[in-house]
């Protein structure tokens, strides 16, 4: 029976072009839908080489990319060439006039002005990932900061720094976890910059600002910074004062900080490292060529873990990566295609054994996680639900009123788990910034996004990081195995038995700019439908229940299903996230009727 199911599952995956993962065993099977940030799983065409290793023709020309960073000057009158802060900072490619020296100089100058206006006059911690554009942008930023008299803290190894290590450094400098708590006002407050486009392709660069709370800057801050940066671009960015000497890193205002040691040694306070070591959990770590590459080796050595860095290579072309769904190199550790090599490594042999008990991947700046067991790559939504249940049963020092944070497009499986735990669910719009206040105060024990990003509190209930931390989520999987004797995928199967299996997907639907603008401003009253896919509509949301913040779209719920529609910020489409606990066919019906509900609301 198993072989027949496996054979059928193989063809089912091919039919659905890789967006559906089918896991089977002797007793049951269930379907997992992956959000691949790529459009409609029915209509999008899977690249013929998706999941295969990159070829020379897939690789960027690093020299061309770096030359473009310095040589091409953006035109601020062209929208695509302006500084624009999304949910994770400003991103773009130098080849597109979207991430050039001018952008970084202007944005850093704007950050200097912003932090001064807010009274943030302490150290600024700056880190970078392994993208080719990260180092020149990192240097440009330091030139501006030094000329402005800012005390800049750079990596003491002159190497890569994961996003969570920067957040950790900011919080530590500001007193987080100390008896007096974190200082939120007064002089000497630290903040930071992370130069990274996260999981984006090798041709891209990214630049984000983290204020003293250590997490992503909110829209109030980023709107001010972006507006001022564009003013500087228009008025003459080349006039911004910069220190251009070859001895830049030896200037008195540039200080060395051991991000790695400070982060690694503190992990004992958030993860049960002793349990992992004593249980002999075999761990395979794949940094995917990202900033965590030296961190995993240091973690294994410091704590005496049976941990192997399965791919220690760093290459700005990422020639060792397998192609994502669209044939692009993308370091997305939640993608079955980008994680094809690690999935293959973890395929059980004829005796059912795997080289590691658990393997995991991180994206380029290590703020995301991908968990692989003998059952394959675990759906990010399912792992979040497993992590939440485990943590709230194994962190006795957390506050009794500690809540769980999730984005409103994350799986409703989390809702069921949290309800069973008797905890409050804080559902917020898309954006990790919304979890920051609760994590700082210790009132939110776990905050997670459907896109495989999360963080949680230390064992004692105080804040760890306020930015996503893929490293601790990977280590947590090993802790689960050590403590429970079960893999995260096995724990998920137990959740399925208790709460039901869900089908989850994201599709895109065409929309004009006018329609997108209207969708972002809908009111609940604009939704006149009373049923969705055969079930009574129980909620129509345009504001997040957890904090009252605008969704920038719409969410409609029934007893066993929901959909959320949000306009894309870069394409003429709107995204439909949907989930059903009544199976894959019901999910398709929810998706189709969601388009009708949205269309009717837009035309009301």
pLDDT level of residue 571 (50, 70, 90 thresholds): confident
Nearest CA-CA partner of 320 in 66, 128, 55, 130: 55
pLDDT level of residue 13 (50, 70, 90 thresholds): very low
Nearest CA-CA partner of 472 in 129, 153, 168, 157: 168
What is the spatial distance between Cα 514 and Cα 540, in angstroms, rounded to a whole number?
22
pLDDT level of residue 188 (50, 70, 90 thresholds): confident
What is the spatial distance between Cα 63 and Cα 588, in angstroms, rounded to a whole number?
46
pLDDT level of residue 181 (50, 70, 90 thresholds): low
Nearest CA-CA partner of 562 in 526, 538, 542: 538
Exposure on the CB side of residue 146, measured as CA atoms within 13 A? 21
pLDDT in tens, 121-164: 999 999 999 999 999 999 999 999 999 999 999 999 999 999 99
**What pLDDT, on the 0 to 100 scale, is given for residue 17?**
33
Largest Cα span, the chain: 72
pLDDT in tens, 61-85: 999 999 999 999 999 999 999 999 9
pLDDT level of residue 177 (50, 70, 90 thresholds): low
What values do phi and psi take at 501, rounded to 5? Answer: -90, 140
Contact 155, 195 (CB under 8 A): no
**What pLDDT, on the 0 to 100 scale, is given for residue 227?**
97
Q: According to the CATH classification, is domain 66-261 in 3.30.200.20?
A: no
131: left (phi over 0), alpha (psi -120 to 50) or beta: beta
Averaged pLDDT, 511-533 = 93
Strand ranges of the sheet holding 453-456, from the earlier edge strand across to the other edge: 425-428, 403-407, 444-449, 453-456
- Confirm whether 198 is a catalytic residue: yes
Structure tokens at 26: 């002797």
Percent share of the chain, pLDDT over 70: 91
CATH of domain 502-604: 3.30.310.50
Averaged pLDDT, 328-342 = 96
pLDDT in tens, 347-382: 999 999 999 999 999 999 999 999 999 999 999 999
**What pLDDT, on the 0 to 100 scale, is given for residue 20?**
32
**What pLDDT, on the 0 to 100 scale, is given for residue 573?**
85
**What pLDDT, on the 0 to 100 scale, is given for residue 187?**
64
Minimum mean pLDDT among 352-366, 380-394, 400-414, 569-583: which range? 569-583
**What pLDDT, on the 0 to 100 scale, is given for residue 526?**
93
Contact 428, 543 (CB under 8 A): no
- Stated pTM of the model: 0.90
- CATH topology agreement for domains 66-261 and 502-604: no
Distance of alpha carbon 249 from its chain centroid, rounded?
30
Q: Is the pLDDT of residue 334 over 80?
A: yes
Residues with Cβ within 8 Å of 132's Cβ and at least 6 positions away in sequence, in order, are 60, 62, 65, 66, 202, 316
Distance of alpha carbon 75 from its chain centroid, rounded?
30
Averaged pLDDT, 87-110 = 95
Nearest CA-CA partner of 217 in 129, 313, 110, 289: 110
**What pLDDT, on the 0 to 100 scale, is given for residue 6?**
37
**What pLDDT, on the 0 to 100 scale, is given for residue 28?**
26
For residue 173, give the 3-state DSSP assignment. helix
Minimum mean pLDDT among 5-14, 243-252, 280-289, 324-333: which range? 5-14
Query: 198, 334, 411, 489: which is the annotated catalytic residue?
Result: 198
Exposure on the CB side of residue 387, measured as CA atoms within 13 A? 34
| Domain boundaries along the sequence of the chain | 66-261, 502-604
């Amino acid at each position: 029976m198993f072989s027949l199911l496996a054979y059928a599952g193989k063809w089912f995956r091919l039919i659905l072009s890789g967006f559906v993962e089918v896991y089977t065993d002797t007793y049951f099977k269930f379907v997992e839908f992956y959000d691949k940030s790529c459009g409609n799983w029915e209509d999008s065409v899977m690249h013929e080489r998706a999941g295969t290793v990159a070829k020379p023709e897939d690789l960027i020309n690093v020299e061309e990319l770096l030359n473009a960073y310095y040589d091409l000057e953006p035109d601020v009158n062209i929208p695509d060439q302006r500084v624009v802060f999304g949910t994770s900072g400003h991103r773009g490619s130098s080849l597109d006039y979207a991430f050039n020296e001018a952008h970084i100089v202007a944005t850093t100058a704007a950050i200097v002005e912003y932090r001064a206006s807010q009274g943030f006059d302490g150290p600024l911690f700056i880190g970078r990932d392994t993208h080719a554009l990260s180092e020149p942008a990192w240097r440009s930023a330091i030139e501006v900061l030094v000329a402005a008299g800012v005390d800049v803290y750079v990596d003491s190894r002159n190497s890569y720094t994961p996003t969570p290590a920067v957040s950790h450094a900011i919080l530590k400098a500001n007193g987080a976890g100390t008896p007096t708590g974190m200082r939120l006002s007064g002089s000497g407050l630290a903040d930071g910059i992370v130069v990274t486009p996260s999981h984006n392709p090798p041709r891209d660069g990214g630049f984000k600002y983290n204020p003293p709370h250590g997490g992503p800057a909110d829209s109030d801050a980023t709107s001010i910074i972006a507006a001022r940066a564009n003013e500087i671009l228009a008025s003459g960015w080349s006039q911004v004062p910069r220190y251009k000497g070859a001895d830049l890193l030896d200037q008195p205002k540039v200080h060395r900080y051991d991000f790695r040691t400070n982060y690694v040694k503190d992990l004992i306070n958030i993860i049960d490292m002793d349990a992992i070591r004593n249980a002999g959990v075999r761990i395979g770590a794949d940094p995917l060529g990202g900033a965590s590459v030296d961190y995993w080796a240091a973690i294994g050595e410091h704590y005496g873990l049976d941990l192997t860095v399965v791919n220690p290579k760093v290459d700005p072309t990422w020639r060792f990566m397998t192609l994502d769904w669209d044939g692009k190199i993308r370091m997305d550790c939640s993608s079955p295609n980008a994680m094809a090599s690690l999935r293959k490594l973890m395929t059980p042999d004829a005796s059912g054994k795997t080289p590691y008990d658990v393997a995991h991947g991180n994206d380029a700046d290590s703020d995301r996680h991908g968990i692989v067991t003998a059952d394959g790559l675990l759906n990010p939504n399912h792992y979040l639900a497993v992590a939440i249940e485990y943590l709230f049963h194994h962190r006795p020092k957390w506050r009794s009123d500690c809540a769980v944070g999730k984005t409103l497009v994350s799986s409703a499986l989390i809702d069921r788990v949290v309800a069973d735990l008797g905890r409050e669910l804080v559902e917020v719009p898309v954006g990790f910034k919304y979890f920051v206040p609760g994590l700082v105060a210790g009132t939110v024990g776990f905050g997670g996004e459907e896109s495989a990003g999360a963080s949680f509190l230390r064992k004692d209930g105080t804040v760890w990081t306020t930015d996503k931390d893929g490293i601790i989520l990977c280590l947590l999987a090993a802790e689960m195995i050590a403590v429970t004797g079960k893999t995260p995928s096995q724990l998920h199967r137990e959740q399925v038995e208790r709460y039901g299996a869900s089908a989850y997907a994201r599709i895109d639907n065409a929309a004009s700019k006018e329609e997108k603008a209207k969708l972002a401003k809908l009111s609940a009253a604009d939704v006149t439908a009373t049923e969705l896919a055969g079930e009574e509509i129980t909620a129509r949301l345009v504001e997040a229940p957890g904090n009252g913040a605008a969704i920038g779209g719409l969410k409609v719920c029934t007893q066993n299903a929901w959909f959320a529609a949000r306009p894309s910020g870069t394409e003429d489409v709107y995204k439909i996230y949907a989930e059903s606990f009544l199976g894959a066919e019901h999910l398709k019906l929810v998706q189709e009727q969601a388009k009708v509900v949205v269309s009717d609301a837009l035309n009301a």
